[in-house]
């Protein structure tokens, strides 16, 4: 059995997707969570509108040993680490279900602009999968308030799509229903630049519409 060190987990990790080993591999659901490990402490934030979350955030102490993450000196409950490297963390679920894949956030993804406003504004969203210009998706997003936005591509949700924005460790994060987490990186005139992770990396541009 190998002994691990907290240093391997140091940093901020964002959810990419969850999957089950006994289900079609294409069924990889967006994982709306963010965890920061610093020294012997951790802070975890989940999407507050996610029905699967008992609470939207928690914090405490942790230890990483024997390929397991123990929280708050609880040696009976632990997350088993299947993979950890410089940019990915995979946590094993029970019986091969609900495995969680997280990506480590580089400091270059921290928000470089102090004045990024979304509420009350409407944007054209352009999403490029893994910088592949042949795989571009467009939508229109209207941020009604700090919890509801309307997507032109989705007419089924009434009153709209729930979302939230928060900041952690210098990162500016957006969680929204049915979507991967988004990291706000910068703003240039009428454009806002974001990044998201699933099985691939996505680059998103929001262009403000008047």
- Give CA 34 to chain center in angstroms: 6
Q: Are strands 88-92 and 68-71 parallel, antiparallel or unpaired?
A: unpaired
Query: What domains sit in the chain, N to C, each tagged with a CATH number?
Result: 6-104 (2.40.128.280), 109-209 (2.40.128)
Q: Are strands 136-143 and 148-151 parallel, antiparallel or unpaired?
A: antiparallel
**Is the distance from CB of 130 to CB of 191 less than 8 angstroms?**
no
pLDDT at 203: 94
Classify residue 29 as exposed, middle or buried by CB count within 10 Å of its CB (0-12, 13-18, 19+).
middle
Residue pLDDT, tens place only, 80-112: 999 999 999 999 987 778 899 999 999 999 999
The yes-or-no verdict on residue 193 having pLDDT over 50 is yes
How is residue 158 written in tokens? Answer: 């009434």
pTM for this predicted structure: 0.90
Residue pLDDT, tens place only, 44-60: 999 999 877 777 889 99
Mean pLDDT, to the nearest integer, of 128-155? Answer: 85
Torsion of CA 114, 45, 63, 66, to 10 degrees: -120
Q: Which of 8-17, 139-148, 151-160, 198-207 has the lowest mean pLDDT?
A: 151-160
Residue pLDDT, tens place only, 20-35: 987 766 678 999 999 9
pLDDT at 195: 97
Give 72-96 as a DSSP string: TT-SSSEEEEEEE-SSEEEEE-GGG
Model confidence band, residue 131 (pLDDT cutoffs 50, 70, 90): low
The yes-or-no verdict on residue 132 having pLDDT over 70 is no
pLDDT at 1: 39
pLDDT above 70 covers a percentage of the chain that reads 90
pLDDT at 95: 76
The mean pLDDT of the chain is: 90
């Amino acid at each position: 059995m190998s002994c691990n060190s907290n240093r391997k987990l140091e940093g901020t990790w964002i959810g990419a997707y969850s999957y089950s080993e006994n289900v079609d591999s294409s069924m990889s659901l967006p994982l709306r969570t963010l965890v920061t490990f610093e020294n012997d402490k951790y802070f975890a934030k989940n999407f507050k509108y996610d029905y699967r979350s008992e609470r939207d955030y928690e914090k405490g102490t942790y230890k990483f040993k024997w390929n397991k993450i123990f929280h708050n000196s609880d040696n009976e409950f632990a997350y088993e680490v299947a993979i950890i490297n410089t940019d990915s963390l995979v946590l094993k679920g029970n019986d091969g279900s609900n495995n969680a894949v997280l990506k480590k956030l580089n400091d270059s993804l921290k928000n470089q602009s102090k004045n990024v406003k979304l509420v009350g504004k409407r944007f054209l969203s352009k999403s490029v999968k893994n910088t592949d210009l042949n795989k571009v998706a467009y939508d229109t997003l209207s941020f009604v308030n700090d919890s509801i936005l309307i997507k032109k591509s989705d007419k089924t949700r009434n009153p709209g799509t729930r979302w939230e924005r928060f900041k952690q460790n210098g990162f500016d994060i957006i969680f929204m229903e049915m979507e991967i987490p988004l990291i706000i990186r910068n703003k240039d005139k009428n454009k806002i630049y974001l990044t998201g992770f699933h099985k691939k990396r996505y680059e998103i541009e929001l262009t403000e519409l008047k």
